[in-house]
Amino acid sequence: MAYPSRSTNSKPSPPSTLRVYLYIPNIIGYIRILLNCFAFAICFENKKLFSFLYLVSFVCDALDGWFARKFNQVSTFGAVLDMMTDRISTACLLLILSQVYRPGLIFISLLALDIGSHWLQMYSTFLMGKSSHKDVKDSNSHWLFRAYYRSRMFMGYCCASCEVLYIMLFLLARNQIESLPLVLENAVKRSWLQTALLVLVGFGWAIKQLVNVIQMKTAADVCVLFDINKKH
């Protein structure tokens, strides 16, 4: 009597926990964390090296998404790791700027807006059963919010503008405590190329902050509607 082979009916085994942790995009995420840890450790000793390492980490942020799609290694852990690394990196840089510039409250407020809006967006995403906080295809929110997440180039420009602007401000600071308006005024007077770059990244930065505000309101609405629908 012949018995059917087990391999013909058996389903492929799911990837092990270790295998997911060792996905290429996740490994890139670990490298980003190490780069940022070293960069922030030397930020005041070598500002140029810090800026280079920080921007390399930011470029790797784009690479991990490409590798995830290329090798079909998209994971929830990877998405959370990516957002966590982004938010902590930006938060640390904003904290440093809040100590270098006056008024420092500007950078603390930007930090709170950045973390608050993304945390709410991530939480509302899971309430709706979505796998990514960037999934807004069925969203009825503001057109700018949808355009931001639907266009990788537009989102990349806005995110890059924020990071480049913050790095520029860090490099422009010559003293331990600086006046933000005075530094910007001197930078504009010093070079037309520097002025053009500040305008270019400043525009993208402004859009990113507006999107953060819209994102916070949109995500808060999802949380409220979830409670209302649950009661009915």
Distance CA 16, CA 53 (A): 32
The SS3 of residue 102 is strand
Cross-strand partners of 179: 102
Q: Is 197 left (phi over 0), alpha (psi -120 to 50) or beta?
A: alpha
Q: Establish whether 114 is a catalytic residue.
A: no
> Comparing C-alpha atoms, which of 214, 213, 215, 232 is closest to residue 110?
213
Instruction: Classify the C-alpha dihedral 188-173-93-49 as positive or negative.
Output: positive
Catalytic residue among 61, 64, 82, 86: 86
Distances (CA, A) of 135 to 58, 67, 121, 125, 171: 22, 19, 10, 8, 36
Matching residue, tokens 């013909």: 8
Contacts of 220 (CB under 8 A, 6+ apart): 120, 124
Distance CA 36, CA 55 (A): 10
Q: Which two tokens stand for residue 98?
A: 């809040």
Instruction: State the catalytic residues.
Output: 86
